[in-house]
Amino acid sequence: DTGVSQDPRHKITKRGQNVTFRCDPISEHNRLYWYRQTLGQGPEFLTYFQNEAQLEKSRLLSDRFSAERPKGSFSTLEIQRTEQGDSAMYLCASTVSMDTGELFFGEGSRLTVL
């Protein structure tokens, strides 16, 4: 058990470019979450998966954001045509099931859009 890993840890991009983040959850965890966190704020829910099924996507999320979890293993979060307002920490977390409720977080991927 190596924990939740996220890659890259830091991404700097120019406005209008596409970026993709990857999350590898703890191997036996079937639920995977993506959150966005800005400085001094709480994690904002983006989307979550049960195995490979995307259960919900935040209504606040524009169509520029998409996430996948093929085969119920790792997950990717893609942001197309990035804007400066997308600059944030993108957190991935996983859990075995809702019964335990304990989310295990990765260290996050920090996005800076210039």
The phi, psi pair for 81, rounded to 5°, reads 50, 60
Instruction: Kindly state the tokens that stand for 114.
Output: 């210039």
With CB under 8 A as the contact rule, which of the stretches 17-25, 63-71, 77-85, 90-98 interacts with other proteins? 90-98
53-57 and 109-113: which strand pairing?
A: unpaired
Q: Check binding of 106 to other proteins (CB under 8 A).
A: yes
Q: Check binding of 25 to other proteins (CB under 8 A).
A: no
CB of 55 to other proteins, least distance (A): 7
| Nearest one of 6, 28, 9 to 76, comparing CA atoms | 6
Interface residue list for other proteins (CB under 8 A)? 33, 35, 40-45, 48, 55-56, 91, 93, 98, 101-103, 105-108
